[in-house]
Amino acid sequence: MIKVENLHKNFKDLHVLKGINEEFHKGEVVVIIGPSGSGKSTLLRCLNRLEEPSDGKIYFKSSNIMDKSSNINEHREHMGMVFQHFNLFPHLTVLENITLAPVKVKNTSPEKAKETGMELLETVGLKDKAYVYPAKLSGGQKQRVAIARALAMFPEVMLFDEPTSALDPEMVGEVLEVMKKLAVKGMTMIVVTHEMGFAKEMGDRVLFMDQGNILETGLPGEVFNDPKHSRTRDFLSKVLRA
Amino acid sequence: MDFSFLSRYYPMYITGTLNTLALAFFTLLLGVVFGIVLALMRLSKNPILKGFASSYIEFIRGTPLLVQLYIVYYGLPQVTGMRFPSFFAGIIALTVNSSAYIAEIIRAGILSVDAGQMEAVRSLGMSHTLSMRYIIIPQAFKNILPALGNEFIVVIKESAIVSIIGIYDIMYSGNIIRGNTYRPFEPLIIVAIIYFIITFGLSNLMGIAERRMRISD
């Protein structure tokens, strides 16, 4: 579904991605792990060009989204994204957060968008918060709304950028629950996370990144129990001990 | 103190007040419109737009309003061959001036909106223009409302300067009454009071607007 070829990203003198080649398949849940600064968030953000790659090709459903002629907004409609800091729109109610893009981009009728919005709020367990402003929600609730907002565009793939890293520990579970539900339904998901439990349980594949390269990729069982690379072993011993 | 002149001259104050209000209304409306345009230009990646907006803002902020007014009223007719009615020239000069200040306030407001907001809305497939319109600018306005209210008050007060080219505003009416009655103090006190009522009323309106926008906090 998404194919990355020789992807490079430089921030001035800093070489953050050093020629990534990878393919993400339909229905797959891929979890990207690695130490901070390894480039995993940058890789994720390049996939919908929130970060402009310096070089390389990204194919989404066989069209190169790096092409000058391709309209990135159209591609983004089909790629949902969830951020570490939720980024809900504070001046809109929860329901308005969810209905904005379907109405403005897809020309969905406001009534239909509301109906879909309420259904999505039900799946994330926040139907009673529809008319509340984001400031009144807890972190976990905000992130669940953010997931519903992304789902409202009916994306074909969901990108999660450290979705639980900014949450209080007791709220991590509720967000992971929603993500598990999505995974079970067959959503294609690419997840950057430090939640090794989620990676083990839900990941179809784990990518380990270090210093701008994908060092290791495989089934969660393989990567966690029998890491091939010393850097992977080193990283896992640190995070799994904690 | 003798305010008996009021019974005879009050219609002049009314005319003056209406003209000041009309002047302020058009100036603020156009000032905000051009202010938004200039702010977006200054924030754009296009070097020509950016350069033009930056130079305009710096130049206008660095020169006196009186000079700008004279250039529009006395200077432009010589170059363009057309003479603007004084009221029109007043609106142009005040708009040219206030749009530069309002542009900077709006630019600061746009920059004050967290970068994550733009990322979130763009990730949903909305264009830059739609994102600005529905997400960034509404939040920017909320943040800058106090500064904008302040600028509105400044514009109303500074508009008194246009009486110098013969626009019949509050200041102008005060001047005429002063000349006719040979008593400068009382007519000018009335002028000051009228300006104060307008600006105080406006600052209360802005206060209400601020409270209404804080509903989402």
ipTM: 0.92
Q: Which domain holds residue B57?
A: 6-216
Q: Which 3 state secondary structure label does DSSP give B4?
A: coil
Task: Look at residue B1 and tell me if it is in a domain.
Answer: no
Answer yes or no: are the C-beta atoms of B92 and B71 closer than 8 Å: no
Beta bridge partners of A205: A30
Asked if A76's CB is within 8 angstroms of B122's CB, the reply is yes
Task: Look at residue B187 and tell me if it is in a domain.
Answer: yes
- Rounded CA-CA distance A27/B158 in Å is 65
Walk across the sheet containing A188-192 and list its strands: A79-82, A157-161, A188-192, A29-33, A205-210, A213-218
Asked if B217's CB is within 8 angstroms of A50's CB, the reply is no
Residue length of chain B = 217
Average pLDDT over residues A125-130: 96
Angle formed at CA A152 by CA A163 and CA B213, multiple of 5 degrees: 80
pLDDT at A212: 93
- Rounded CA-CA distance B174/B190 in Å is 8
Q: Name residues whose C-beta falls within 8 Å of residue B149's C-beta, 6 or more positions apart in sequence.
A: B202, B203, B206, B207, B210
Beta bridge partners of A5: A57
Task: Look at residue B139 and tell me if it is in a domain.
Answer: yes
User: Over the stretch A7-50, which tens digit does the pLDDT of each residue have?
Assistant: 999 998 899 999 999 999 999 999 999 999 899 999 999 999 99
pTM of the model: 0.85
Task: Look at residue B113 and tell me if it is in a domain.
Answer: yes
Residue B49, min C-alpha distance to chain A (Å)? 23
Answer yes or no: are the C-beta atoms of A90 and A135 closer than 8 Å: yes
> What is the share, in percent, of chain A residues with pLDDT greater than 90?
88
Q: What is the DSSP code string of A135-204?
A: GGS-HHHHHHHHHHHHHTT--SEEEEESTTTTS-HHHHHHHHHHHHHHHHTT-EEEEE-S-HHHHHHH-S
Classify A13 in phi/psi space as left (phi over 0), alpha (psi -120 to 50) or beta: alpha
- Rounded CA-CA distance A85/A161 in Å is 9
- Rounded CA-CA distance B89/B69 in Å is 7
pLDDT at A62: 83
pLDDT at A242: 55
Q: How many domains, chain B?
A: 1
Task: Look at residue B116 and tell me if it is in a domain.
Answer: yes
Task: Look at residue B208 and tell me if it is in a domain.
Answer: yes
Q: Name residues whose C-beta falls within 8 Å of residue A42's C-beta, 6 or more positions apart in sequence.
A: A9, A16, A17, A51
Q: Which residue of A has its CA nearest to B217?
A: A135
Asked if A74's CB is within 8 angstroms of B125's CB, the reply is yes
Mutate to test the interface with B, among A91, A107, A136 (most CBs of B within 10 A): A91
Contact list in B for residue A75 (CB cut-off 8 A) is 125
Report the residue from A74, A90, A105 with minimal CB separation from B216: A90
State phi, psi for B168 to the nearest 5 degrees. -80, 70
Among candidate residues B117, B119, B153, B154, the one with its CA nearest the CA of residue B138: B117
User: Over the stretch B168-216, which tens digit does the pLDDT of each residue have?
Assistant: 999 999 999 999 999 999 999 999 999 999 999 999 999 999 898 888 8
Q: Which residue of B has its CA nearest to A132?
A: B216
CATH of the domain at B170: 1.10.3720.10
Q: How many CB pairs under 8 A join A and B?
A: 75
- Rounded CA-CA distance B177/B183 in Å is 8
* Cα torsion B63, B64, B70, B73: sign: positive
> What is the share, in percent, of chain A residues with pLDDT greater than 70?
99
Classify B110 in phi/psi space as left (phi over 0), alpha (psi -120 to 50) or beta: alpha
User: Over the stretch B11-69, which tens digit does the pLDDT of each residue have?
Assistant: 999 999 999 999 999 999 999 999 999 999 999 999 999 999 999 999 999 999 999 99
- Running DSSP on this structure, what letter comes out for residue B44? S
Average pLDDT over residues B70-94: 93
Answer yes or no: are the C-beta atoms of B2 and B63 closer than 8 Å: no
Asked if B125's CB is within 8 angstroms of A76's CB, the reply is yes
- The encoded tokens of residue A204 equal 């179809």
CB distance from B212 to chain A under 8 Å? no
Contact list in B for residue A60 (CB cut-off 8 A) is none
